[in-house]
Amino acid sequence: MRQPTAPEQSSRRLRIALIGGGLVLALLVGIGVYGLLRGPAAQPAPDTHSTSTKAPEPGRDLTPRPKPESTEAERFSRSVAEGLFAWDTGLGYGAHEYMQAIVDVADREEAPGLAADLRAYFPDDTAWGELRNYETRQWLTIDTITVPETWPGVVANARPGTLPPGAAAYTITGSRHRVGSWEGQDVSDARPVSFTIFAACPSGDSCRLLRLSAVDTPMS
């Protein structure tokens, strides 16, 4: 059997890095145990090198920018969703700097739990360094933002004081895009994602982020 050449091995590593992996964490939401956090599972790379059509670049800055304040829950959730998947390893920032930009809009009491949630959305330091070798950048294109069907029942049946004022939940579906550079060519990968954002938007006050569901395990 023919052994893969060095360029083929490098291409294979890039494809695996682009598709990415995740870690499993326990996620405890204020309304109960939500489940296990699991990042996108690594998938095998093809045996032969191929370069796909370049994915459309996002029309936004991929630096770790502060999230704009908003009093409108859906708009706030959209901003957070885009921030969860928007990064560029070639700009010199670390994953923790992108995560911090999201923690900065968290509810103070929920910030420690949210920080744990975020680790399932971002590559760890080792994976980040590998992705940086290929100048990998990522972004999200959103298809739908909807209130989960079960959320009104949760609000109606919640015990007093369980949910903060203005509590809201939005499930986002879309596509996560990654593009990296290999031997001067762009190699891209896209996969569907879905997740739920829990936020609190008290009347007349700015929204604050509460928690996140696991990737691809949204609230139904």
pLDDT band of residue 12 (cuts 50, 70, 90) is low
Model confidence, pTM: 0.75
Whether 51 is in a domain gets the answer: no
Cα distances (angstroms) measured from residue 118 to each of 52, 109, 115: 29, 16, 5
Q: pLDDT value at position 38? A: 23
Q: How many domains does the chain have?
A: 1
Q: Which residue has the higher pLDDT, 61 or 70?
A: 70
Which residues are CB-neighbours of 3 under 8 A, at least 6 positions away? none
Whether 86 is in a domain gets the answer: yes
Is the pLDDT at 8 greater than 90, yes or no? no
pLDDT digits (tens, 9 = 90+) for 153-163: 999 999 998 99
Let me know: does 156 contact 198? Beta carbons within 8 Å. Answer: no
Residue numbers of the domain that contains 12: 8-41+64-212
Burial of 159 (0-12, 13-18, 19+ CB in 10 A): exposed
Whether 54 is in a domain gets the answer: no
pLDDT digits (tens, 9 = 90+) for 161-216: 899 999 999 999 999 999 998 878 888 999 999 999 999 999 989 999 999 999 99
Whether 55 is in a domain gets the answer: no
3-class DSSP state of 37: strand
pLDDT digits (tens, 9 = 90+) for 18-66: 444 332 222 223 232 222 112 233 333 332 233 344 445 555 689 998 8
Whether 59 is in a domain gets the answer: no
